[in-house]
Structure 1
Amino acid sequence: MATADGTAATPGIREHPLRESLLHEAHARPFESLSAPLRVSHLVVHTGTSGRAEELAHVAELCRELRVEAPGAEAGHFTLETEHFRLRWERHTEFSTYTVFVAGGESEPFASPALGAMPRRWLSGVPGELLAAVHVSLLRAEDIGESPSIIARYFREDSMAGSRCAGDAASVWTDFLADRDGFIRVLVLDRSLSAPQAGRLVQRLLEIETYRLMALLGFPLARRLSPDITEMETQLGTLMDRLSSVAALDDERNLLSSLSALSARVEQLMAQTNFRFSATAAYGTLVRRRLAALRERRIEGVSTLDEFMERRLAPALDTCVHMSDRLERVSRRVSRAANLLRTRVDVALEAQNRDLLESMNRRARLQLRLQETVEGLSVVILSYYSVSLIGYALRGAAAAGLNIRPDVYTALSIPVVAGVVALGVREVRRRVTRADGGLP
């Protein structure tokens, strides 16, 4: 970043590559400066997280039609100014807003909405699905009066909410009900607003309706999810009852398989709902912040906007939080039960392995004893036949005329032969043992 004369603002210090963009972020979407009388129409279009390119192309089409410069390919917001209207487009994470401003009053509030100044063909081609639609009429308070009985002509009286805002510089009225065209109506009566104040007030009112509808996207999901969570809680209770009574290893394995299947189902639901419920909580927080920024003061006999939201929006948000918490608790309980059962199965398997090893050790000891017995018998048998062969040889030699006593020499050869045979058998066993052990 450089100063006005082109020199570095911080000479000798290398700047972070994101520093300039971060400094500009706070001023990326400034408030409008508005003055009464004014008409505003606001559209909130749900596009998901990947609709930027299509929206930019559609905005660029309008710019070409009106012969104005189109936004850049990376733009996240854009304001188009014409002689008859001003259009402000803003791209958010999963939705976009189109806000139309038209200066001038009306014979009656909402009689000629600002949206009528836009090309109808272009409006019909806006990408995405319409979620929220608002008409705002900003008028001078002295031109219409602030009596609730007068204001009630434009709203349904049993649903009407209103309050003094911005330090009593304006009053705001609405019933949060859609008219025949599907638009929420908001009437702002300017008592002593400055242009920046009016811009901030209108922007906050539009954001309240925008974030209110975005927050409510999680409510139908929460209601659909409730029976599934109840079913999983019941199934988990049944499995836990079986866990306390199961004894056989095969039964424990089957139970572990059931718990694993339940855990997979829970995790699947959490993956499907986590983003929506997290977004609902975030949007709900934004609604409350925007309401607090209005600095409302009660008008006798009428609910404030904050009271209306607490009565209508808060229960829906609480339901989403409750369902998310229930799903999280089920996940933790299933995980604990699976870990407990897995530990039991591991302990049972270790006991089985220990018994198997002991049985193998007993068989090995018996085999060793049998082997030693066979070796002893082998030594006796081999020694017997060897001594017999020596005896035959000595008797043959005596018959041939040698002066020897065959019986004596045969008897003397017995310990020698037995020792040699025993050593030979032991050497053979040693070599076989080394070969089995993979030794050279």
Structure 2
Amino acid sequence: MTQMPKLQFQAEYKEIMSEAHSRPPFDIPENHNVFYLAFSCTQVTAQHVRMLIDSKAKDSGYRHVIGKLDGWVAKYELHTEFISLYLLVENTLSKEDVLVRLANKIDFDLLEINLAIWLQVASTKKEFRKIFSDWSVFYGGGLREGGEVRATLAPDDAGFIDFVVLKGSAKEFTLGRRIQRLIELETYRVMTLKGLPLARSRATELSKLEKKLESISANMNTVAHGEGEKSEAVFKELCALSNKANHMQSGSRFRYSASRAYFDLVEQRIDWFDEKKIGGLHMLSAFVSSRLKPAIDTIESMGKRQQDLVDDVARVFALLRTRIELNVGKDNQDILRSMSERHDQQVKISQTVEGLSAIAITYYAVGLVSYFLKVFAKEEIVPISHGMMTALSIPIVFGLVILGLRHMRSKWH
């Protein structure tokens, strides 16, 4: 029998394939509640929490671990920004009891808690109503298979968000999946809102930068051609404004993008939740949507304003650069014009000097020629006087001098 060849998969193959099966829900048996924490911590602390659940999960590559923690079924999940810890605890325990026992295993001072949920599961309507009877404000609705949900959506004195779910006729696995989606909905809601304080804190500073840009743009219109010092001052102000705008944008880009991504996840969970309205009770999904949409609009609006500011600064930079280049071009034209005028002056001076030089050379050359002509005058070889011969030689010598100077100048050029 021919042996099947072994395939060479990409390095991330197992991680990619296992992602679809990660974060499996709990089976929720009778008489159990869910204790949930979403937190941030150092890698060392995360490793400690992982190994409490599974001693083999020492490597940071373990993103999802299911096991036992102090006798409870526990699930550890590593997300991009936070870690989630699910505990399945007996309904005879309160959240205070669970916290006390966990404090013996985990140092809570090392955790930065993003969300804490205490979710109770009721088997009967009587038990269900009894749990939320003393809640002053709550939201909820009907679920599939006769289930119902109620939630405070506001932290109690210990910082926990309280939920209670009526299981109805749902099986253990179905109930576990429903509760996991419910917890994910609240987790992603809280993570979405993490961008809101940042957006609000940037509003005042952003308004100042926008007014500063408006002022710089106005100053550019008052700077006349040739005022180099004022242009340099405007350029320095614009550079400082650009640095601030880009620093603000880079410092909030991730948070705003993350809030948008979490909001999309919230909407997915709401669609999946399929909550039904019960009487005049404000539905949980409707409350989340109505309160979360203005928050994400504020976050996105602030992100757009920051991007618009960066783009506007870039456009003003381009305008100032074009203006400077035009000014430089005009200055260069003035310099070239001045150089051309100087060249014309130098040509005229050169021509004048050349003429004077020709006269001077002719003067000395005629003097030499006169000595030569004296010989002919004494011997009376030519019937013309010495003075007449000297006079007649002047134009000839001058012409030869001019021709010689022009010939030399043509060689120089």
The TM-score range, normalised by the shorter chain, is: 0.7 to 0.9
2:88 to 98, 101, 108: 101
**Relative to 1, partners in 2 of residues 1:126 and 1:42: Cα closer, same or farther, differing over 3 Å?**
farther
Look up the match of 2:72: 85
- What's the CA shift string for 1:335-373, capped at 9, x where partnerless? 223322332332232222222212221221221122122
Look up the match of 2:402: 422
**How big is the shift at 1:415?**
5.0
Deviating more after overlay: 344-353 vs 87-96: 344-353
**Relative to 1, partners in 2 of residues 1:35 and 1:423: Cα closer, same or farther, differing over 3 Å?**
farther
1:271 to 250, 254, 262: 250
**Relative to 1, partners in 2 of residues 1:82 and 1:357: Cα closer, same or farther, differing over 3 Å?**
closer
> Helix, strand or coil for the counterpart of 1:40?
strand
**Contiguous gaps of at least 5 residues in structure 2:** none
1:235-384 equivalences under 5 Å are 235-250=212-227, 251-384=230-363
> Helix, strand or coil for the counterpart of 2:265?
helix
> Helix, strand or coil for the counterpart of 2:105?
helix
**Relative to 1, partners in 2 of residues 1:82 and 1:269: Cα closer, same or farther, differing over 3 Å?**
closer
**Relative to 1, partners in 2 of residues 1:342 and 1:142: Cα closer, same or farther, differing over 3 Å?**
same
**How big is the shift at 1:407?**
4.3
The answer to whether the 8 A contact 2:65-2:77 is kept is yes
Match status 1:25 vs 2:19: yes
Could you tell me how far apart the structure 2 residues matched to 1:360 and 1:54 are?
75
**How big is the shift at 1:144?**
1.0
Look up the match of 1:437: none
One-letter amino acid of the structure 2 residue matched with residue 421 of structure 1 = V
The answer to whether the 8 A contact 1:79-1:86 is kept is yes
2:139 to 137, 153, 161: 161
The answer to whether the 8 A contact 2:199-2:298 is kept is yes
**Relative to 1, partners in 2 of residues 1:119 and 1:346: Cα closer, same or farther, differing over 3 Å?**
same
1:179-198 equivalences under 5 Å are 179-198=156-175
Deviating more after overlay: 423-432 vs 133-142: 423-432
**How big is the shift at 1:138?**
1.8
One-letter amino acid of the structure 2 residue matched with residue 285 of structure 1 = D
Could you tell me how far apart the structure 1 residues matched to 2:317 and 2:213 are?
11
The answer to whether the 8 A contact 1:91-1:97 is kept is yes
TM-score, normalised to structure 1, is 0.82
**Relative to 1, partners in 2 of residues 1:121 and 1:6: Cα closer, same or farther, differing over 3 Å?**
farther
**How big is the shift at 1:6?**
8.4
Could you tell me how far apart the structure 1 residues matched to 2:69 and 2:82 are?
25
**How big is the shift at 1:75?**
1.4
Look up the match of 2:56: 69
The answer to whether the 8 A contact 2:53-2:65 is kept is no
Could you tell me how far apart the structure 2 residues matched to 1:429 and 1:379 are?
13
**Relative to 1, partners in 2 of residues 1:171 and 1:402: Cα closer, same or farther, differing over 3 Å?**
farther
Structure 1 runs, 4 residues or longer, greater than 6 Å off: 399-402
Look up the match of 1:39: 33
1:211 to 162, 174, 188: 188
**Contiguous gaps of at least 5 residues in structure 1:** 434-440
Could you tell me how far apart the structure 2 residues matched to 1:6 and 1:22 are?
27
Match status 1:59 vs 2:53: no
Percent identical residues: 28
| Structure 1 vs Structure 2 CA RMSD | 3.0
**Relative to 1, partners in 2 of residues 1:121 and 1:241: Cα closer, same or farther, differing over 3 Å?**
same
One-letter amino acid of the structure 2 residue matched with residue 164 of structure 1 = G
Deviating more after overlay: 310-319 vs 197-206: 310-319
Could you tell me how far apart the structure 2 residues matched to 1:58 and 1:83 are?
12
The answer to whether the 8 A contact 1:100-1:115 is kept is no
**How big is the shift at 1:401?**
6.3
**How big is the shift at 1:261?**
2.4
- What's the CA shift string for 1:282-340, capped at 9, x where partnerless? 11221222122111001112111122213433322222112112222222223223322
> Helix, strand or coil for the counterpart of 1:177?
coil
The answer to whether the 8 A contact 1:58-1:126 is kept is no
Could you tell me how far apart the structure 2 residues matched to 1:270 and 1:112 are?
41
